[in-house]
Amino acid sequence: METFIPKTFELGSLVGISSKNIEEHLKLYKGYVTNTNLIFNKLNELKNDPEKNAYVLAELQRRLGFEFGGMRNHEYYFSSLSGGKKEINKDGELYKKIVEEWGSYEKFLEHFKFVATTRGVGWAMLYFDKLSSKLIISWVDEQHIGHLVGLSPILCLDMWEHAYYLDYIPAEKKKYIEAFFSNLNWGVVESNYEN
């Protein structure tokens, strides 16, 4: 039973991120989808005898967050690089909200890029919290540790070395961050915010 199907993305030629790196990165994304399906299928198979399968079920449930998080995080990431670069709409609601919360778009970018340089593997995330009507920047370890509960991701930047290792050495990850933003389709991010 295939619950999730890998999405396709309109990724053209990117500035500073090679097609080879994207090709290899997409293979990893598809692996997350495959593993998420395997986990759901195995959970379904073993759920009728939870006592007998307690250890396996517990390990599958533990692993689910990593694989499912990897699948979804990458879907946000690749979607935001799809369809070509598009600048943020300075008359749009997201831009206004960013300026309201950080004082300027430039200060927001500075802070987001700073979070992206966090040591370790993980993700720099921009969330929207519907309860407080706030934008929140946060770091997520690996694929799943530290996701903020109840918040909607609107911008996800993959900071695992696999996202840039064919183009930049780890000491050059700031160059990769700049490359990401030079290719970003803010229209997709704005749509995430609106939805």
Average pLDDT over residues 137-148: 94
Q: Are 116 and 173 part of one and the same domain?
A: yes
**CATH assignment of the domain containing 76:** 1.10.287
The whole-chain average pLDDT of the chain stands at 96
Rounded Cα–Cα distance for residues 128 and 59 (Å):
31
Q: Is 169 inside a domain boundary? A: yes
- Domains: count for the chain: 2
Q: Which domain holds residue 176?
A: 93-194
Q: Are 135 and 159 part of one and the same domain?
A: yes
Average pLDDT over residues 97-114: 98
Rounded Cα–Cα distance for residues 95 and 104 (Å):
9
Residue that finishes a domain, picked among 47, 80, 113? 80
At 26 the pLDDT is 98
Structure tokens at 54: 């307690």
- What pLDDT band is residue 99 in, cutting at 50, 70 and 90? very high
pLDDT tens per residue, range 54-87: 999 999 999 999 999 999 999 999 999 999 999 9
**CATH assignment of the domain containing 155:** 3.55.40.20
Q: Are 112 and 145 part of one and the same domain?
A: yes
Q: Are 188 and 126 part of one and the same domain?
A: yes
At 176 the pLDDT is 98
